[in-house]
A = this chain, B = another copy of it.
Amino acid sequence: MAFMTEILEKQKVSGPECRNRMMPVQDALDILHGKWKLLILMSLSDGPMRFKEIQRQVEGITAKMLSKELKDLEINELVARTVYDTTPVAVEYTRTPYGHSLKKVIDELHAWGLQHRKRVMRKSN
Hey, which bits of chain A sit against chain B, CB under 8 A? Answer: 3-4, 7, 11, 13-14, 18-19, 21-29, 31, 33-35, 38-39, 42-43, 45-47, 49-50, 53, 57-59, 84, 86, 88, 90, 98, 101-102, 104-117, 119
Contact of A113 among B26, B57, B104, B106 (CB under 8 A): B26
Contact of A50 among B11, B35, B101, B119 (CB under 8 A): B11
| Chain B nearest CB, measured from A56 CB (Å) | 9
Q: Are A25 and B39 in contact (CB under 8 A)?
A: yes
- Which residues does chain B contribute within 8 Å of A33, judged by CB atoms? 33-35
- In this complex, the member of A3, A4, A109 whose beta carbon has the largest number of chain B beta carbons within 10 angstroms is A109
Q: How far is the CA of A49 from the CA of B95 in the complex (A)?
A: 41
Q: Are B19 and A109 in contact (CB under 8 A)?
A: no
Q: Are A24 and B84 in contact (CB under 8 A)?
A: no
Contact of A24 among B29, B59, B102, B114 (CB under 8 A): B114
A11-B53, A24-B109, A27-B113 known; 14 new pairs, CB 8 Å cut-off, are A3-B86, A4-B86, A7-B84, A11-B50, A14-B57, A23-B117, A25-B109, A25-B110, A29-B38, A29-B113, A33-B33, A98-B119, A104-B108, A107-B108
